[in-house]
Amino acid sequence: MSLEVGIVGLPNVGKSTIFNALTSAGALAANYPFATIEPNVGIVNVPDPRLEMIHKFITTDKIIPASVRIVDIAGIVRGAASGEGLGNKFLSHIREVDAILHVVRCFEDNDITHVENSVDPIRDIETIETELCLADLETVTGAADRATRQARSGDKEAIARLEVCKKATVLLEQGRPARGLSLNDEEQKVLKSLGLMTSKRVLYVANVNEDDLEGQNEHVQKVRARAAEEKGDVIPVCGKLEAELAELPEADRQEMLESLGLKEPALATLTRAAYKLLGLQSFFTAGKQEIRAWTIHAGDTGPQAAGVIHTDLERGYIRAEVYSVDDLVQYKTEAAIKAAGKLRVEGKAYVMRDGDVCHFLTST
């Protein structure tokens, strides 16, 4: 599953610092390595304490976490939609990702120059949003022109596409993102086919100072209010601190976290939030060879989950034996779970739950 989340932001807001900390070896947990595919693309493993909980009761040779692909997109400047700062190239990178982490500067520091010469996260958010809206407006205008020509012949798909384009145009001309549109399921499919950047899910990342790790300052509160209007969320992250933590050996990192009163790096929270932002969840398989978190879309069925392991398992799916991590903690062994009547047998229509532990029975 090759879904990607892109990190965007103005220059000098800490975007690349956060990306580099995310993709530094061992940045999230001792047993979670990473791999870099390209200079600006990294695979970041999703910290999941449930893996270690399973491991307490099932011995295994290795533990394999879920992962998420992160793309570091170069800083966008005012005028990007008209080509400023190689804007067209960078905007094309945003079109290719499935969701967006929007990093905004929420700290004051006279030694770090802001591209606008002052700290104002709402202005910064609107600067980038305006550029994306302008670029999307150009996309929608072209799509509407094509749909208008095709609709003259009575093409139902073209007529439907034209209506969605009209609705999107109204919003985009107001400088508002297309994700704010109220559409039915069929219209949502049409919108997705247009590939609009402002229709993608967004999570705001508030880059804060070391003395405000929970993000209580006025700047962050404004971003939270903005996110709430969009039914979104905000994760406060101190890029400087996370970069320092990422460079430390595991023991030193834990000691530093404890001294700060933290259980884990903020980037662990951010990675899990990015995973969720993409509409993903995990199920587990557990045995002697490996305990593994597998990635599926929220709402996937048992056969679809089996297909993530191997396509043959989806084709030959008969049923799944399923229990929860909590069941394992309570009963200690799979045999005891079964004896207690907690081992569920689920058929082809079963909708997977996040954290299911599964054994798939197939005809292949």
CATH code of the domain covering residue 18:
3.40.50.300
Q: How much is the pLDDT for 1?
A: 61
Q: How much is the pLDDT for 114?
A: 77
Q: How much is the pLDDT for 213?
A: 94
93 lies in the same domain as 215:
yes
46 lies in the same domain as 162:
yes
For residue 19, the number of C-alpha atoms closer than 13 Å in the C-beta half-sphere is 27
For residue 150, being part of any structural domain is answered with yes
146 lies in the same domain as 42:
yes
Q: How much is the pLDDT for 75?
A: 67
| Amino acid identity, position 288 | K
CATH code of the domain covering residue 342:
3.10.20.30
| In contact, 57 and 63? CB cutoff 8 Å | no
Cα–Cα distance, 237 to 269 (Å, whole number): 9
341 lies in the same domain as 262:
no
Cα–Cα distance, 261 to 255 (Å, whole number): 10
Cα–Cα distance, 203 to 229 (Å, whole number): 13
215 lies in the same domain as 319:
no
Q: How much is the pLDDT for 79?
A: 65
In the chain, which ranges are continuous DSSP H helix? Answer: 15-22, 49-55, 87-96, 121-151, 156-173, 185-194, 218-229, 239-247, 250-259, 266-277, 302-309, 311-315, 325-331, 334-339
Q: By CB neighbour count within 10 A (0-12 exposed, 13-18 middle, 19+ buried), where does 313 fall?
A: buried
Percent helix, strand, coil in the chain, to 5, is 45, 20, 35
223 lies in the same domain as 325:
no
Q: How much is the pLDDT for 244?
A: 93
Quote the tokens at residue 30.
């001792």
Quote the tokens at residue 256.
């530093």
Q: How much is the pLDDT for 36?
A: 42
Closest by Cα among 117, 127, 116 to 8: 127
| In contact, 97 and 5? CB cutoff 8 Å | yes
Q: How much is the pLDDT for 31?
A: 34
273 lies in the same domain as 306:
no
Q: How much is the pLDDT for 110?
A: 83
Quote the tokens at residue 358.
């599964």
For residue 189, being part of any structural domain is answered with yes
Cα–Cα distance, 165 to 203 (Å, whole number): 25
For residue 352, being part of any structural domain is answered with yes
Cα–Cα distance, 191 to 179 (Å, whole number): 9
Q: What's 112's DSSP letter?
A: S
Q: How much is the pLDDT for 109?
A: 86
**Per residue in 64-117, pLDDT tens?**
999 999 988 876 666 655 555 444 566 778 888 999 999 999 998 888 877 777
Q: How much is the pLDDT for 24?
A: 75
215 lies in the same domain as 324:
no
Q: How many CB atoms lie within 10 A of CB 122?
A: 13
- What is the residue range of 18's domain? 4-277
Cα–Cα distance, 269 to 46 (Å, whole number): 9
Q: Which of 245, 277, 309 is the last residue of a domain?
A: 277
Q: pLDDT of the chain along its 364 residues, tens only? A: 668 999 998 888 888 899 988 887 433 333 333 444 444 788 999 999 999 999 999 999 999 999 999 988 876 666 655 555 444 566 778 888 999 999 999 998 888 877 777 899 999 999 999 989 999 999 999 999 999 999 998 889 999 999 999 999 999 999 999 999 999 999 999 999 999 999 999 999 999 999 999 999 999 999 999 999 988 999 999 999 999 998 899 899 999 999 999 999 999 999 999 999 999 999 999 999 999 999 999 999 999 999 999 999 999 999 999 999 999 999 999 999 999 999 999 999 999 999 999 999 999 7
337 lies in the same domain as 223:
no
In 278-310, which ranges are continuous DSSP H helix? Answer: 302-309
138 lies in the same domain as 197:
yes
| In contact, 163 and 199? CB cutoff 8 Å | no
271 lies in the same domain as 353:
no
The number of domains in the chain is: 2
